[in-house]
A and B are shown apart, each in its own frame.
Chain A
Amino acid sequence: TSLEKLGKWERKNRIVYPPQLPGEPRRPAEIYHCRREIKYSKDKMWYLAKLIKGMSIDQALAQLEFNDKKGAKVIKEVLLEAQEMAVRNHNVEFKSNLYIAESLTGKGHYVKQIRYHGKGMFGIMKIVRCHYFVKLVEGPPPPPEPLKTGFDQAKEYVQQLRNRTITNTL
């Protein structure tokens, strides 16, 4: 690994925290994993990444297994690899006790080629690749935020009105 240039996401797995004092709450383990230069579009991959974000790892694997997209297979492999790494190298006790804190896509290297049309016309075709990044955190998944009701919004509006100060008065 020292010969290839490591990306920022891979280096995040190398930070070592100092030992915790006995009174502190247990720090949850964080595992960063990524796969580079996947032959898929980053916009199409984004839909899958957004689907998974915030789910527990078992739920995410189940959803991806029955998804018809090409990127779903790739992301499933990445998640399984990351789970394996977590249990073996990063001292995670239970492999189901992980949830997906972040899942991102990035643009890979594009190659331009010519696509021949009729009548001597041509178009420039892009061979599109993407990267996929995932961060697993140990622990149960966080509960989803409650949706904002109209009543909450109204309350906030009234509070904003009340917060106004009129200058140069008592």
Chain B
Amino acid sequence: NVESLLRPARAAPTCLLVPVRTKRRFSVPNWNREQSLEEKEKKLRTLKAVAPEEHVERTFYLACTAAIIDPYVPPEGDARLTSLSKEGLKQKVEKFKQSAVSQLALRKLKDHDPNFSTKTFPEKAQEIFTEAHNCLANFNKQKLHSLVTERCYSEMVRGNRYKTIRWSFVESLEPPRVVHVRCDSMVNRGNLYGQVTVRMHTRQTLAIYDRFGRLMYGGEQVPKDVLEYVVFERHLVNPYGTWRMHGKIVPEWAPPKDPIVKTVMIPGPTLNPSQEFEEIK
């Protein structure tokens, strides 16, 4: 009990709490961390093997053929010769009457559709033609689908989405006439589609404006004479099928179209730094 120097009677310090550094480390859990596209795809692929997708049979319906069957080859100089000269008369005495395949096809058509006649059809065809182009100018897609087959629709509408088209039909220079008839079946033997080519010589105006309202092609007050061979198609076996525009035949001897307003750059050959363009030429 004697107090000594070495042990002074001072209040003893209470137990010193030394905190141990056991702080919980936070880390992003593995299932939530950021993964690149490839890792994500890998994970999805592994999950796919566990639950394989069942192959559901889907029926599809062919409403039109993919191409023009046996395209009509228009005789050269069709619109150049008048009907008064000898050669014009020869063309007028239509080879259509003589070609056997067309006659057979025509007979098959009349079996399925007794109201069909080569005399009344061209007028209807021209009406369908004008209606379809008007729908294209007004972007009336529903009506256009009913007047034009799917193949023709994609060809007509491609590249037109952000453009304004103005088309008008001035007059018809010659009465349209049927020139070529073909009948064919797709996939199954009895599934008949009939195609009829109509020759039209008309006057039309066309003006295409781009996204900003600037004229790209043609002119609104400039009528042009156009000789066309338009193909119409109908699904004969379907009782509610209608005649729809299927495509156009452009002959090789047709005059070239007008150039577009803007200048287009055609890329030349890629040169090495040491070469010159004139040397290669």
Say if the beta carbon of B23 comes within 8 Å of chain A: yes
Report how far A18 CA is from B211 CA in the complex, Å: 8
**Interface 1/0 per residue, B187-222 and A, CB below 8 Å:** 000000000000000000001011111111000000
Known: A14-B162, A91-B262. A114 touches B213 (CB 8 A): no
For B164, what are the chain A residues with a Cβ–Cβ distance below 8 Å? 16, 18-19
Contact between B212 and A27, CB atoms less than 8 A apart: yes
Contact between B28 and A114, CB atoms less than 8 A apart: yes
Report how far A29 CA is from B209 CA in the complex, Å: 13
Say if the beta carbon of B27 comes within 8 Å of chain A: yes
Say if the beta carbon of B26 comes within 8 Å of chain A: yes
Q: Which of A16, A87, A94, A111 counts the most chain B CB atoms within 10 A?
A: A16
Interface of A is mostly: loop
Report how far A93 CA is from B216 CA in the complex, Å: 11
Contact between B27 and A27, CB atoms less than 8 A apart: no
Counting residue pairs across A and B whose Cβ atoms lie within 8 Å, the total is 54
Known: A27-B214, A93-B263, A114-B27. A19 touches B209 (CB 8 A): yes
For A17, what are the chain B residues with a Cβ–Cβ distance below 8 Å? 211-213
Report how far A122 CA is from B209 CA in the complex, Å: 61
Within 8 A of A (CB), among B134-187: 162-164, 166
Known: A93-B263, A114-B28, A122-B26. A20 touches B213 (CB 8 A): yes
Given contacts A20-B212, A20-B214, A91-B210, 17 further A-B contacts (CB under 8 A): A15-B211, A16-B163, A17-B211, A17-B213, A19-B164, A19-B207, A20-B215, A26-B214, A27-B214, A28-B212, A29-B212, A29-B214, A30-B212, A90-B211, A91-B211, A114-B27, A122-B26
